Amino acid sequence: MSTKEETKNTYVLIMAGGLGSRFWPKSRSSFPKQFIDILGIGKSLLQLTYERFLKICPPENIYFLTNEIYVDLIQQQIGLQSTATIIAEPCRRNTAPCIAYAAFKIVALNANANIIVAPSDHLILNEAIFIKSLSIAVDFAKDNDALLTLGINPTRPDTGYGYIKFLPGDDEVCKVEHFLEKPSIEKAEVFVKSGDYVWNAGIFIWNVNSILSSFKTNANKMFSIFEKGNHAYNTSGEKGFIEENYPLCDDISIDFAILEKATNVFTITGDYGWSDLGTWASLHEVMDKDTQSNSFVGKAALFENTENCLVQISKDKIAVIKGLSNFIVVDDEKVLLIYPKELEQEIKNVSITAVTKLGAVYQ
């Protein structure tokens, strides 16, 4: 940020309540992927995200949006002395309610707050470019009634991401024409070729008054629920109010509740070295690999006639693999997963099958 005053008014909301079910068996409901050292570097994705945003605002301005069951995990991993900056939802209601809750809580502290919302489990390799774009976005949000999203320049016609169509211009901040859900491969190819579409990374920037105004206009029922708690935010009465009223909110994402309806949405695009690390295959793409495109986390490995595999075992184990191609191999002590990479989308449901058919309790 350009000045100390602007830094003081910058807040970050780290979304840390997801289940990460596509990373089973490493990720499970009691210990999801944002808390795991999934890259094998000694730090969890949550810790890496927190350290990244320390370059943007002071630690007391970084809040964690999560579920009640993860409060202790966040406190331990970040080293927080209190839970004052952990905003815990009493029940799962998707991203719109928790963002609305946080906005009401923050505006009661600072009516000039500019807010960055970001997932806790994304990888950013080009941090300098990322931070520069966020600085531009915060400056724009401060001076305009605007909701901004960071757009990711697509590297391929991927059908697993939502897309944003923007209106090209000379400025770094571009008007968003509309959001598009995950497309077919044919549409994705058209989008990428046109140059007018970017991936929706789920990273948002806005002034607190702009987002509250948008909730009032586009999600008035939810706005009214949280507005009733203005007397309670940042007091001893907040927890009781939230426990009683939060379950009344619709289960809806911020995209559907606000961004797809609002007319004041803008985007900034850049080459951030971004990955949402949504699947084992996406993790394999960003990890270091041997000459046969195998990535490995563990003590040591001996691969023969093995290619394009992701292998993760415990730090005290050795892997010996021969004749394997395009497989995911994950040994998490209690569960051994050996699965074809091209079928990785099935893994989300594998844990459910394991519980149902095998009586496993590893969730």
The whole-number pLDDT of residue 345 equals: 83
Q: How large is the average pLDDT for residues 272-281? A: 90
Shared domain check, 193 and 310? no
Domain span including residue 155 = 4-275
The whole-number pLDDT of residue 334 equals: 84
Shared domain check, 166 and 45? yes
Q: Which residue, chain included where needed, has tokens 């394999």? A: 284
What's the predicted TM-score (pTM) here? 0.92
Indicate whether 363 belongs to any domain.
Answer: no
Shared domain check, 63 and 106? yes
Residue 161's pLDDT band (cuts 50, 70, 90): confident
Cα 194 to its chain centre, rounded Å, is 27
Shared domain check, 304 and 326? yes
CATH of the domain at 217: 3.90.550.10
Q: What is the pLDDT of residues 68-119, one digit of tens each?
A: 999 999 999 999 999 999 999 999 999 999 999 999 999 999 999 999 999 9
The whole-number pLDDT of residue 95 equals: 96
3-class secondary-structure state, position 34:
helix
Q: Where are the alpha helices (DSSP H) in the chain?
A: 4-8, 45-53, 71-78, 95-107, 127-143, 185-194, 208-218, 220-227, 238-245, 254, 280-286, 347-358
Mean predicted lDDT score pLDDT of the chain: 93
Indicate whether 15 belongs to any domain.
Answer: yes
Indicate whether 138 belongs to any domain.
Answer: yes
* Confidence check: pLDDT of 160 > 60: yes
18-27, 190-199, 210-219, 224-233: least confidently modelled range: 18-27
* Percentage above 70 pLDDT, the chain: 96
Last residue of a domain, one of 275, 292, 321: 275
The whole-number pLDDT of residue 359 equals: 64
Shared domain check, 301 and 236? no
Shared domain check, 222 and 99? yes
Residue 333 Ramachandran class (φ > 0 left, ψ -120 to 50 alpha, else beta): left
Shared domain check, 296 and 215? no
Residue 320's pLDDT band (cuts 50, 70, 90): very high
Last residue of a domain, one of 210, 245, 275: 275
* Confidence check: pLDDT of 189 > 90: yes
Shared domain check, 228 and 323? no
**How many domains is the chain partitioned into structurally?**
2
Last residue of a domain, one of 275, 304, 322: 275
Shared domain check, 286 and 193? no
Q: How large is the average pLDDT for residues 135-160? A: 93
Half-sphere exposure of 355 (CA within 13 A, CB side): 10
Shared domain check, 303 and 234? no
Indicate whether 103 belongs to any domain.
Answer: yes
Shared domain check, 168 and 48? yes
Shared domain check, 336 and 309? yes
Residue 236's pLDDT band (cuts 50, 70, 90): very high
* Confidence check: pLDDT of 250 > 70: yes
